[in-house]
Structure 1
Amino acid sequence: MELDELRNELNGIDRKLVELIARRQQIVGRIGKTKLTTGRATRDFEREKVVLGLAREQARALSVDPDLAESIMASLIRSSLASQERDRVAAEGRGDGQSVLLIGGAGKMGGWFAEFFASQGYAVTIADTTIEDGDRCYKDWHDAGVDFDVIVVAAPLAISGQILLELATLKPRGLVFDIGSLKSPLKAGLREMAAAGCKVTSLHPMFGPDTNLLSGRHLIFVDAGSADATRTAREMFSATMVTQLEMNLEDHDRLIAYVLGLSHALNIAFFTALAESGEAAPRLAKLSSTTFDSQLLISSAVARENPYLYFEIQHLNEFGIGPLDALCDSVNRIRKLVADGDQAGFVELMRHGKEYLATRSAPSDAV
């Protein structure tokens, strides 16, 4: 066969693959509706295990890489779950025409929440300094008023703190929550609202605005003095597969200083060292290793994020300096061990780290 003939044959196979995927998705939709009407959970881990096992078994029988087959099936499963999750959220329609105001709703995470609420049947109003006044759109949130069933504060951290303080004086009737990555700048506003008798709580989505499937993702609920508000907020996400975690105001920022602050700083230090090394990025890429490539992938993602938000996460956390000091101490310790030729100390450092990391169970999906 000529090359063109082989490529045409391959094109035909690819078309059939896409047709089979479409057929599979149709069946998945019917399965999702059946789960919804019978009250069964969206995700069935036992079934996923069977599907992936069968894919690997069939791949071996056909002399195909089992890892490739599993990877393809895992992608199809994620797509199916995302579709079923969206259908369930829409079907349960908890909004039922209720109104929600998203302050900062034109931002990335604000946009995610706007879509989430709209899919549940809420009447969504957006207030954001980057937009012009229009139908259910306001440049200044004050112009929208506070007569809403739900108010979400999705502005930058420092601004969110001021908004919460203002809302405490306005005493809105509905549920109010922020989605800040830190709570230190928001504590005063949250406490003022609680003291004023407002139905207020605080959320921290541990996922980004590009997230379509909430399975394996975490959403932190921080009680701000109104257990009823926290309970109501949690119910809004009951149709999703997100893992709900509860935390108090005192613990949140101390733990986030390591989960976000330390991990961000480590990656910023990594790409800063590379950028200032004098070595061209393409040249380093040619000498890549598995570890380097993995670290570069994460650091590249961090470098593309909002630098102003990342500075706020570092600067506005009252517990933020401790993890940075620990990072500096650790790097200096490694440097000293290497400079002194202390092999035993270096090995012990890695052994200790291995033991610590072994105590952490791997999550089902990255956070």
Structure 2
Amino acid sequence: MSQSDFDSLRERIRLLDLELVARVAGRVELARQMGELKRLQNLPTVDYAQETTVLSRARSAAQEHGLDPRVAEDLFAGLIAASVSAQEEDSLRVAAVGAGKTAVVVGGAGRMGRWMRRFLAAQGYTTRSLDTFDVPEEVTLARECLHSAELIVCSTPPVATAGLYLEWSQKPPSGVVVDIASIKTPLIEPIRALQEAGGRVASIHPMFGPSTFLLRNADVVICDTGDAEAVLTVERLFQPTTARIVRLPLADHDRIMADLLSLAHAAAIAFALALPESEHPVRSTTFQALRSLSAAVLRESPDVYYEIQAGNPDSLEAVERLRVALDRIVGAVRERDSAGFRRLFEEGQERAPVSPNP
């Protein structure tokens, strides 16, 4: 095969790639129109039954064309995600919860702070960032409208947020104040102090990171602070999205997060620490999955993750369960107890059952 043959094939592939992109753009536009019809009929953005139909159709078409069905399924899963994202974006814009309103994001220069600013701007809010890493002009503007803004979001460490609440209790902002902290124990008393001073306070916990662009299947915890109006204000921010809203009593939050965060983070960090110093020439799918998970955790801020561990009074109990579990595994292997090891498997299967896809 000559060089011209290679060039000819590559040109044909290039044109197909361009056509694919154009077709995808057309498909997303049709999905936006479908989203408009859903809004008019008060239908949910996500239609799991239709997604199943689309994926099944993709797999069948792939087989007919001699293509691996998994390739088609991955491709169409991405198309579905793009479509849902476009519909969600339009729903936020149409809902216009923040139209004509101002939101100040304290800690707005941080990764999650920037995510909140984009999220609020998509809903019509004029956003300001109050952060030491912002340019002085932005900080000045944020300070000027802090007490008149309709919404103040604290994207700051819990201890820092607690200090702000105690400071603001001398002169509470007129808008709703909400934190997005991963632990709530340091905030409970400051929240009460700010409320007693007349402040309107809510508390939420987005159970996702700043790289998230699609809220489908993402949980947003709304904690009950005793101020129904403030809680409803922040809950409305997420109602137009595909996020799953979970309501919890404020006092129960950290006990649950000890399992969801402290235990999970400790397991990921421990796995990384147990890895050999040099890489092996072979890999397994389980090893790769666990290493990728550990790497994702260790890319985050050690200060934030330490605060999640140390600031949650229920963390040690959860991490201690991890240590006990490892001891049980080591014990069964050391004693060559196959029946005991099998029982550990069975117990694990009961606690971590396979969840069917929606």
Q: What TM-score results when the alignment is normalised by the length of structure 1?
A: 0.92
Secondary structure at 1:22 match in 2: helix
- Give the Cα separation in 1 of the matches to 2:172 and 2:227: 14
- Give 1:50 shift: 1.4
Q: For the Cα contact (< 8 Å) 1:194–1:224, is it kept in 2?
A: no
Equivalent in 104, 108, 111 of residue 108 of structure 1: 111
Query: 1:347 aligned to 2:355?
Result: no
Q: For the Cα contact (< 8 Å) 2:128–2:142, is it kept in 1?
A: no
- Give the Cα separation in 1 of the matches to 2:144 and 2:87: 38
- Give the Cα separation in 2 of the matches to 1:139 and 1:310: 31
For residue 221 of structure 1, what is the amino acid of its counterpart? I
After superposition, the Cα gap between the structure-2 partners of 1:156 and 1:257, relative to the gap in structure 1 and judged at 3 Å, is same
Q: For the Cα contact (< 8 Å) 2:97–2:124, is it kept in 1?
A: yes
- Give the Cα separation in 2 of the matches to 1:145 and 1:25: 39
- Give 1:143 shift: 5.6
What's the counterpart of residue 147 of structure 1? 148
Mapping of residues 302-341 of structure 1, within 5 Å: 302-341=297-336
Secondary structure at 2:46 match in 1: coil
Q: For the Cα contact (< 8 Å) 2:207–2:220, is it kept in 1?
A: yes
- Give 1:148 shift: 1.4
What's the counterpart of residue 34 of structure 1? 37
Mapping of residues 292-303 of structure 1, within 5 Å: 292-303=287-298
- Give the Cα separation in 1 of the matches to 2:232 and 2:123: 18
- Give 1:38 shift: 3.8
Q: For the Cα contact (< 8 Å) 1:102–1:110, is it kept in 2?
A: yes
Mapping of residues 63-102 of structure 1, within 5 Å: 63-102=66-105
Secondary structure at 1:212 match in 2: coil
The CA deviation string for residues 26-73 of structure 1, in whole angstroms up to 9 with x for no partner, is 222222233334433222222211111111111111221112111101
- Structure 2 unaligned blocks of 5 or more: none
Secondary structure at 2:136 match in 1: coil
- Structure 1 unaligned blocks of 5 or more: none
Over the aligned positions, Cα root-mean-square deviation in angstroms equals 1.8
- Give the Cα separation in 2 of the matches to 1:79 and 1:152: 28
Q: For the Cα contact (< 8 Å) 2:97–2:236, is it kept in 1?
A: no
Q: For the Cα contact (< 8 Å) 1:157–1:186, is it kept in 2?
A: yes
For residue 338 of structure 1, what is the amino acid of its counterpart? V
For residue 198 of structure 1, what is the amino acid of its counterpart? G
- Give the Cα separation in 2 of the matches to 1:58 and 1:362: 24
Identity %: 35
Q: For the Cα contact (< 8 Å) 1:130–1:139, is it kept in 2?
A: no
For residue 87 of structure 2, what is the amino acid of its counterpart? Q
After superposition, the Cα gap between the structure-2 partners of 1:319 and 1:217, relative to the gap in structure 1 and judged at 3 Å, is same
Q: For the Cα contact (< 8 Å) 1:206–1:219, is it kept in 2?
A: yes
What's the counterpart of residue 192 of structure 2? 191
Q: For the Cα contact (< 8 Å) 2:128–2:141, is it kept in 1?
A: no
- Give the Cα separation in 1 of the matches to 2:105 and 2:35: 30
Secondary structure at 1:42 match in 2: coil
Mapping of residues 226-241 of structure 1, within 5 Å: 226-241=227-242
What's the counterpart of residue 216 of structure 2? 215
